[in-house]
Amino acid sequence: MLDSYGRNITYLRLSVTELCNMRCRYCMPEDGICKKQHEEMLTQEEMILAVKAAVSLGISKLRITGGEPLVKPNILSICREASSIDGLREICLTTNGALLPSLALPLKDAGVQRLNISLDTLNAEKFRYITRNGDLNQVLTGIDAALSAGFDKIKINTVLIGGFNDAEIPALADLTRQIPVDVRFIELMPMTRQDAFGPEAFLPFTVVNEKLPELSPVKADGGVARLYRLPGAKGNIGLISPVSAHFCTDCNRLRITADGKIKPCLHSSDEISIKGLSYPDMIETIRDAILAKPKWHGELSYTARSHANRNMNQIGG
Ligand code: SAM
Ligand code: SF4
């Protein structure tokens, strides 16, 4: 379905939980989150109904996200049900990877086609620092498990953080030579309540081109990333610039949070509830949300922060 600015909205990001087994400094507070009442969250039935309603309006790609989707006890059942919805062409999932050693194969069997795995550093101590509790080894084992389970086109997502991982850009990019994955560098977004980083942490994507002059451009695949390749690499390098060069004009996304709010725009505080709605009402509400998508999210910078009014774990990225 086209929104009010002629953009075809085909991509739904469904957050299935706000909870997470990590505590990334740019994403959520150290003490976790104020756990919401069970009744406030979408049930599995409501999630599936919402996906069906969105598909009836032209959504063809679903990304399951969180919080950490793999801590959700019924995640396999959600994926299985979603994958049986007629009209969905692609089901992807974004994860921190820690639980992939045991879940990669079951996810594949449940119909998940593509995985994005977040990884900001290859240094175990730095990994523990940025995630506040994470174990790098689990994630690296998880990436291996995903490859062994037969996932292809795996994307490793790295948030660029000045003073933290800029010196590691070549090593992270080199993963595309070692294993068949894409590595995507994403600019750190200045979320409303996240003040763990000073202005120096916000690097433009061009820092990657500066660090890797041997990158050659690759034809874009219709996604939001500018694509490049290292000589001899098995996968691409993607550069994603939500801050320095926004892609609102091509935005095809809709987001549904785990507590049942449609967010027409990631960086706006506007939210429309679908909790408790009947199927016909869900369709109408999702239609209204698509029509309510703003033209763009406005300036984003260290001082002009996101208006999302939520931490990223409560939106899904
Ligand atoms: N837990 C899963 C994971 O980490 O992949 C899925 C949810 S997480 C919120 C989705 C993505 O958002 C991750 O790749 C994470 O790095 C990214 N993210 C979180 N906060 C961010 C921020 N302030 N700026 C840019 N990316 C962010
Ligand atoms: Fe958890 Fe993902 Fe947020 Fe890290 S980025 S705290 S893994 S939800």
Q: Mind listing the pLDDT tens digit for each residue in 117-134?
A: 999 999 999 999 999 999
Strand duo 11-15 + 253-256: pairing: parallel
Contact residues of ligand 1, CB 6 A cut-off:
20, 26-27, 65-66, 68, 94-96, 118, 157, 159, 186, 188-189, 191, 194, 312-313, 316-317
Please tell me the residue having the least CA distance from ligand 1 atom 25. 188
d(CA 22, CA 132): 7
Is the CB–ligand 2 distance for residue 101 below 6 Å?
A: no
Among the bound ligands, name the one nearest to the CA of residue 93: 1
Q: Is the CB of 120 under 6 A from ligand 2?
A: no
Is 0.95 surpassed by the pTM of this model? yes
Q: Which of 102, 203, 200 is nearest to 158 (CA)?
A: 203
pLDDT tens-digit profile, the chain (317 residues):
999 999 999 999 999 999 999 999 999 988 877 778 889 999 999 999 999 999 999 999 999 999 999 999 999 999 999 999 999 999 999 999 999 999 999 999 999 999 999 999 999 999 999 999 999 999 999 999 999 999 999 999 999 999 999 999 999 999 999 999 999 999 999 998 767 899 999 999 999 999 999 999 999 888 999 999 999 999 999 999 999 988 899 999 999 999 999 999 999 999 999 999 999 999 999 999 999 999 998 889 888 899 998 999 999 99
Taking the CB of residue 149, how many other CB atoms lie within 10 A of it?
A: 17
The sign of the dihedral angle between the CA atoms of 147, 151, 154, 156 is negative
CA distances to 106, 153, 213 from 210, in Å = 40, 26, 6
**Cβ atoms 136, 123 nearer than 8 A:** yes
| CA separation, residue 84 to residues 46, 47, 51 (Å) | 15, 14, 11
If one looks up domain 11-314 in CATH, what number appears? 3.20.20.70
